[in-house]
Amino acid sequence: MDLLVAVLAPLAVAPLMPLVRRFAGRHVGDVAAAIPLAIAVYFARYVGTLGDGQSVAFRRAWVPEIGLSLSLRLDGLSLLFVLLISGIGALVCVYAGGYLAGNRRLGSFFGSLLAFMTAMLGIVLAENLLTLYVFWEFTTLTSFLLISFEHERQAARAAAMQALLTTAAGGLCLLAGVILLGLIGGSFEITELIERGDAVRAHRLYPAAVILILLGAFTKSAQFPFHYWLPNAMAAPTPVSAYLHSATMVKAGVYLLARLSPLLGGTDLWTVTVTGVGAVTMVVGTVLAFTSYDMKGILAYLTINVLGTLTMLIGLGTELAAEAAMIYLLAHALYKGALFLVTGAVDHAAHSRDLRELSGLRHRMPLTALIAALAALSMAGVVPFFGFLAKESYLHAVVEAPRMWPLLTFAAVVASVLVVAGAGLVAVAPFFGTLSEKADRAHEAGFRLWFVPALLAVAGLAAGLLPQTLAAPLVEPAVAAIVGEPVPLELKLWHGVTLPLVLSVIALAAGVALYVSHERVRSVFDGTRVLGGWGPAAWYDKGVTLLDVVAHWQTGFLQSGFLRTYVTVILAMTAGLAGLMITHFGLTFVERETIGVRWHEGIAAGLIVAAAFVAVRSTSRMRAVVALTIVGFGVSWIFVLFGGPDLAMTQIVVETLTTLLFVFAFYRLPKFSILSDRATRFRDAVLASSVGIVMTLLILLATGVDQYEPTSEYYVRSSVTEAHGRNIVNVILVDFRALDTLGEITVLSAAAVGVFVMVRLVAPKGGRS
């Protein structure tokens, strides 16, 4: 129950935020931060208690019919994520209060942010895969709102749409995969599925389920080739980028992979795909970072690199890799969060994030420069920052990878070199060198804008200095949850001279060298921009254009505004589907007593058919009306012959009135003329005939169906005893079904009023009545 309250608390408070803004004014961010802070404090008490793979669970049936239960479970992996989400969430709230101070829609901003928090907490605490999916899509929706916060700008709307379409498409794949998994394993509860892991992995639908789920995780975590949406999502306000697109939401995919790796991992399909895609993303992210001059853009590409690395590590599936993934995850959240927020401060102060316009900022923003340097050192993997530990542990995991290690190691080192240089781009280039014009006008950011990133950066340093005390209690239970057994973890800075250390030093040295000559490197990497024309982003654009074209064509075709198009489509569907069912099930007429045809009955039937065709073929209006009348009287004759005198009488009266109406109206209307060409008439005739044939067949089938006790027995029995009437048809109409008849009378009165208005109220010339 506590878990559920914790998950829903931010959402419950979210609608109140506009009100809070009114009363709290400038402090709205601080007030909003209280909720995630409370959650963080609450969950902090579990630190150190979940190391042996224990968990806290909550379960309540939601829609038991489809196996959907609201079940939550807190284990080591969830705890690490919960603390990241709530801890960084609280910091981001405080920061955003300063960053967006004075914004009119600050209240709704915090509302969306808190709603997002609920979604994110739901994902990492969900025990039921369907519950997880619900929260998963909720993050997609709330992130749409947050990216498009400045919706006056076209770029923000387009980016929000792109992120929505990409991740929602992936989300649908995930849903399909989850359902498949549920069908294979017979449950949607993750722990139950893991118990049946061997059976699941041996199932023939396992590959389909894996690929669908991976598509969901890869789109969410911006893996190649779905990485394109993440840099564009930087159109969001910087606190959102720091929170969603670096620390939390994009890691949901990584979380899902880690969560499901005990269930789905270990197979060739899983290992090769996840490791391969992760490794490619890792390299692509760093290379693309050098094509951008936007500080946030560079950070976004470097985040893609990290997401790739994490994915690769989880794909490897070894204990070392799981350890490295969790350490790196934590380190990245600390330094990248700080760097994003620093970028926000720069943007706020200098009104630019463009590296070509910024240099020498340290003269104007010394504090911010210091924080950026601290965070960047951690990112580059310099001793004694926590990033150093992270880099060393993942190089260690890659070097000892069970397969493909030379290739993966090479990729990891190349990426590391580029990351070091990238750290220089965002933390050295804007702050050092001669003071640029834009930078000259900058000033140190407000308290919130430097204090929050400073906390994160210092945390990165502290965790590096005291890893066993500060980081191990968080990382160890998370690794235990992934691996499935307690893993004793010893974090320390100095392991002696090992291969990972050598590689780490090489990467650092090469990275520094690369940064020094980054102007030249850029010109090389700029060449890759040409590839953009064929890249996944271009495919996305083409896809959206195609969707528009198809939608336009389809709407134009289906919603033409011409009655006959609608009729045609409806008829084609009816005839097609019903015909399909008939051919599928075959024509099995139940043998039953049919009554023969007497000669006068045959005449009546023949007359109706003949008159109907005359009405169609006739070129004279009057002849058509007469033929129609004959049809009507023919039908009433049939009613008379088969025990329906009431029907016949009504039909005759109505038919007479109808004929009068037709004559009255047609007399004053244009003559019949043939308006459509031969081919159209032929097509319509074929279509109409096929529907007619289907109707005939359906009646023949329907008369043979006898599934339920006929209800009319009841009316017949109760007619005299209950309703005291002897004409059963009338009794049904005015007694048993009196309300229906009342409705019918109402319809008739409405029609009568309509007819009167249209015939008698003539609008005066000029068009107004």
Partner 1 sequence: MEILLAIVVGCLVATGLYMMMRRSMLKLAIGLSLLSHGANLLIFTAGGLTRGQPPLIPQGETLPPAPYADPLPQALILTAIVISFGLLAFTIALIYRACHVTGTDDLDQLTTTET
Residues of this chain, 569-628, that bind partner 1 according to CB under 8 A: 571, 594-597, 601-602, 605, 608-609, 612-613, 615-616, 621, 624-625, 628
The single residue among 563, 679, 707, 708 that binds partner 1, judged by CB under 8 A, is: 563
Q: What are phi and psi of 294, to 5 degrees?
A: -85, 125
- Closest contact distance (angstroms) between CB of 693 and partner 1 is 6
Q: Which is nearer to partner 1, 435 or 612 (CB)?
A: 612
Q: Which of 142, 123, 125 is nearest to 133 (CA)?
A: 123
The single residue among 187, 267, 318, 658 that binds partner 1, judged by CB under 8 A, is: 658
Q: Which is nearer to partner 1, 519 or 593 (CB)?
A: 593
Cβ neighbours for 546, distance < 8 A, ≥ 6 positions apart = none
The helix (H) or strand (E) run that includes residue 61 is strand 56-63
Residues 182-201 that bind partner 1 (CB under 8 A): none
Q: Which is nearer to partner 1, 5 or 695 (CB)?
A: 695
Q: How many chain residues are in contact with partner 1, going by CB under 8 A?
A: 97
Q: Which is nearer to partner 1, 63 or 748 (CB)?
A: 748
Kindly state whether residue 741 participates in binding partner 1, applying the rule CB under 8 A: yes
Q: By CB under 8 A, which span of 150-158, 176-184, 204-212, 673-681 interacts with partner 1?
A: 673-681
- Closest contact distance (angstroms) between CB of 572 and partner 1 is 11
Q: By CB under 8 A, which span of 134-142, 167-175, 326-334, 634-642 interacts with partner 1?
A: 634-642
- Closest contact distance (angstroms) between CB of 553 and partner 1 is 20
Cβ neighbours for 444, distance < 8 A, ≥ 6 positions apart = 349, 364, 365, 366, 367, 368, 450
Other CB atoms within a 10 A radius of the CB of residue 39 amount to 24
* Structure-block tokens of residue 430: 């804007």
Kindly state whether residue 105 participates in binding partner 1, applying the rule CB under 8 A: no
- Closest contact distance (angstroms) between CB of 263 and partner 1 is 54
* Structure-block tokens of residue 129: 């895969």
Q: Which residues pair with 56 in a beta bridge?
A: 74
Q: What are phi and psi of 493, to 5 degrees?
A: -75, -35
- Closest contact distance (angstroms) between CB of 652 and partner 1 is 10
Q: Which is nearer to partner 1, 533 or 596 (CB)?
A: 596
DSSP string, 288-341: HHTT--BHHHHHHHHHHHHHHHHHHHHHH--HHHHHHHHHHHHHHHHHHHHHHH
Kindly state whether residue 559 participates in binding partner 1, applying the rule CB under 8 A: no
Q: Which is nearer to partner 1, 112 or 719 (CB)?
A: 719
Residues 678-737 that bind partner 1 (CB under 8 A): 684-685, 687-689, 691-693, 695-697, 699-700, 702-703, 710-712, 715-717, 719-721, 726-729, 732-733, 737
Cβ neighbours for 212, distance < 8 A, ≥ 6 positions apart = 173, 174, 176, 177, 180
Q: By CB under 8 A, which span of 60-68, 131-139, 180-188, 652-660 interacts with partner 1?
A: 652-660
Q: By CB under 8 A, which span of 135-143, 173-181, 420-428, 743-751 interacts with partner 1?
A: 743-751
DSSP string, 346-388: HHHHHS--BTTT---GGGT-HHHHHHHHHHHHHHHT-TTSHHH
Kindly state whether residue 647 participates in binding partner 1, applying the rule CB under 8 A: yes
Kindly state whether residue 751 participates in binding partner 1, applying the rule CB under 8 A: yes
- In the block, which residue shows the tokens 């004793």? 488
- Closest contact distance (angstroms) between CB of 679 and partner 1 is 13
Residues 394-453 that bind partner 1 (CB under 8 A): none
Q: Which is nearer to partner 1, 530 or 705 (CB)?
A: 705
Contact 70, 59 (CB under 8 A): yes
Q: Which is nearer to partner 1, 484 or 754 (CB)?
A: 754
Contact 174, 253 (CB under 8 A): no
Q: By CB under 8 A, which span of 440-448, 480-488, 514-522, 667-675 interacts with partner 1?
A: 667-675
- HEC string of 110-127 equals HHHHHHHHHHHHHHHHEC
Kindly state whether residue 523 participates in binding partner 1, applying the rule CB under 8 A: no
Q: Which is nearer to partner 1, 469 or 696 (CB)?
A: 696
* Structure-block tokens of residue 435: 């003071």
Output DSSP code: residue 236. S
- Closest contact distance (angstroms) between CB of 108 and partner 1 is 39
Q: Which is nearer to partner 1, 469 or 712 (CB)?
A: 712
Task: Give the CB-side neighbour count of residue 758, counting CA atoms within 13 A.
Answer: 7
- Closest contact distance (angstroms) between CB of 761 and partner 1 is 9
Q: By CB under 8 A, which span of 370-378, 435-443, 518-526, 669-677 interacts with partner 1?
A: 669-677
Q: Which of 657, 675, 673, 674 is nearest to 665 (CA)?
A: 657
The span from the CA of 399 to the CA of 203, in Å, is: 32
Kindly state whether residue 639 participates in binding partner 1, applying the rule CB under 8 A: yes
Q: Which is nearer to partner 1, 108 or 659 (CB)?
A: 659
* Structure-block tokens of residue 638: 């049939």
Q: Which is nearer to partner 1, 707 or 721 (CB)?
A: 721
Q: By CB under 8 A, which span of 307-315, 435-443, 446-454, 641-649 interacts with partner 1?
A: 641-649
- Closest contact distance (angstroms) between CB of 680 and partner 1 is 9
Q: Which is nearer to partner 1, 515 or 637 (CB)?
A: 637
The span from the CA of 298 to the CA of 285, in Å, is: 9
Q: What are phi and psi of 402, to 5 degrees?
A: -65, -25
Q: Which is nearer to partner 1, 1 or 675 (CB)?
A: 675
The single residue among 562, 585, 599, 708 that binds partner 1, judged by CB under 8 A, is: 562
Cβ neighbours for 503, distance < 8 A, ≥ 6 positions apart = 395, 399, 409, 412, 413, 416
- Closest contact distance (angstroms) between CB of 548 and partner 1 is 24
Q: Which is nearer to partner 1, 509 or 641 (CB)?
A: 641
- Closest contact distance (angstroms) between CB of 549 and partner 1 is 24
- Closest contact distance (angstroms) between CB of 96 and partner 1 is 49
Strand pairing class (68-74; 56-63): antiparallel
The span from the CA of 252 to the CA of 170, in Å, is: 12
- Closest contact distance (angstroms) between CB of 580 and partner 1 is 18
The single residue among 196, 568, 579, 623 that binds partner 1, judged by CB under 8 A, is: 568
The single residue among 61, 205, 531, 567 that binds partner 1, judged by CB under 8 A, is: 567
Contact 41, 86 (CB under 8 A): no
Q: CA gyration radius for the chain? A: 36
- Closest contact distance (angstroms) between CB of 691 and partner 1 is 6
Contact 728, 736 (CB under 8 A): no
194-202 contact pairs (CB < 8 A, 24+): 194/262, 194/263, 194/484, 197/262, 197/263, 200/263, 200/264, 201/264, 201/266, 201/267
Q: Which is nearer to partner 1, 443 or 564 (CB)?
A: 564
The single residue among 516, 641, 738, 742 that binds partner 1, judged by CB under 8 A, is: 641
The span from the CA of 217 to the CA of 223, in Å, is: 8
Cβ neighbours for 411, distance < 8 A, ≥ 6 positions apart = 279, 282, 283
CB-based burial label for 706 (10 Å; 0-12, 13-18, 19+): exposed
